[in-house]
Structure 1
Amino acid sequence: MTNLKTRAPIALLIIDVQPSFEHMPYWPSGQRQPFQQALLKLQAGCRQAGVPVVHIFHIDNDPPFRADSGLIRPMDWLPGQPTVLFDKHVHNAFTDTGLDVWLRRQGVQRLIISGIRTEQCCETTARVASDLGYAVDFVSEATLTFPMTHKGTGQTFSAQDIITRTELVLADRFARIVNVDTCLSGL
């Protein structure tokens, strides 16, 4: 863990960008390259502005997500050390992780959400963060998800369908939906 040099009211959360996903049957995604480029730009801009970068990793009993898998680490293309990192065992990054305590001690009031599974861990974290009183910037282009098929109807939803739905339900209720450039211009 690296100490912050200055207290910042904003923090970037990078959620579940870990090689565990590369071992799941739905990987790779056609959206992977744009996601990587967006997240790299977002992270670089935040670092340049002195915004702390927080990595969150998911650990559970699925073999690629087990603590002893060797896959609970940043993906190889994601450079730099985080300011701090937390492991989670549920969908949101707050429950039983210590993240909220750490953020409050740093004086953070606004969160930038990015990472893997737009509609799952990223959306759930945004909702919980909002309920805890944080202002939330949800950077959809710096999140990644995968097509899903509805078990009841057989209808397949594209990754873009899922992202659009997530933006719809979060916007102006739980988060401000922004792209990378808009987010960085507000730092």
Structure 2
Amino acid sequence: PDCEKNVKTLVDGFAAEGSPIVLVRHDSGDPESPLHPDRAGNAFKPALDGVEPALVVPKHVHSAFHGEVDLHAWLRREEIGEILVCGIQTNRCCETTARLGGDLGYDVGFVIDATHTFDEPAQNGRDALGADLLAQATATNLHGHFANVTTTAEVLGAIPAAG
């Protein structure tokens, strides 16, 4: 429920420290999708108003590492070995980006309380999986394997300018 507030807190904290901020936007190819570039849902949330990103990565698939901009090459060029993942959707784009980042050798922090997901129908078409369960499954899948699952407070406590 505090995803947007926590994302803003993280972005403000890292911007104050002078760390680069990368924004990733999912540009759906489906004209009916709220994430299609012609739709209002494609815009960044108001919590990101005023952010001056070092890089914007438009993408059409789940991972930010497969966007229109080569995020991996940019991170290597900038000599960045640690990334924090936050945003929407916890168990899709965020989890996929964290998994690939881990596989590529990055030290990935997955800020679970700065992500958001939704209730989803199960593959059997009868049951629904709640957002909390999906987030818990993502945290379990990632932690210790692809990423360090953490919280906004834990991350901010490690930023010298914020601590």
Q: What TM bracket, shorter-length normalisation?
A: 0.7 to 0.9
Which segments of structure 1 move beyond 6 Å, counting only runs of 4 or more? Answer: none
- When the two chains are superposed, the root-mean-square deviation of aligned CA atoms in Å is 1.5
SS of structure 1 residue aligned to 2:109: strand
Kindly report which structure 2 residues correspond to 1:1-187, keeping only aligned pairs within 5 A, or say none: 31=1, 34-63=2-31, 64-69=34-39, 71-79=41-49, 80-96=51-67, 97-152=69-124, 154-187=126-159
| TM-score computed with the length of structure 1 as normaliser | 0.77
d(CA) in 2 for partners of 1:107, 1:36: 28
Structure number with greater CO (CA < 8 Å, separation at least 6) is 1
Give CA-to-partner distance per residue, 1:69-91, whole Å, 9 cap, x none: 35533122322221210111110
Percent identity (aligned): 32
Give CA-to-partner distance per residue, 1:131-162, whole Å, 9 cap, x none: 11100000000001001121316222211111
- Worse overlay, 66-75 or 54-63: 66-75
d(CA) in 2 for partners of 1:71, 1:37: 18
Distance 1:137 1:62, change over 3 A: same
**What residue in structure 2 maps to residue 6 of structure 1?**
none
d(CA) in 1 for partners of 2:126, 2:17: 46
Q: Which ranges of structure 2 fall in alignment gaps of 5 or more residues? A: none
Q: Which ranges of structure 1 fall in alignment gaps of 5 or more residues? A: 1-30
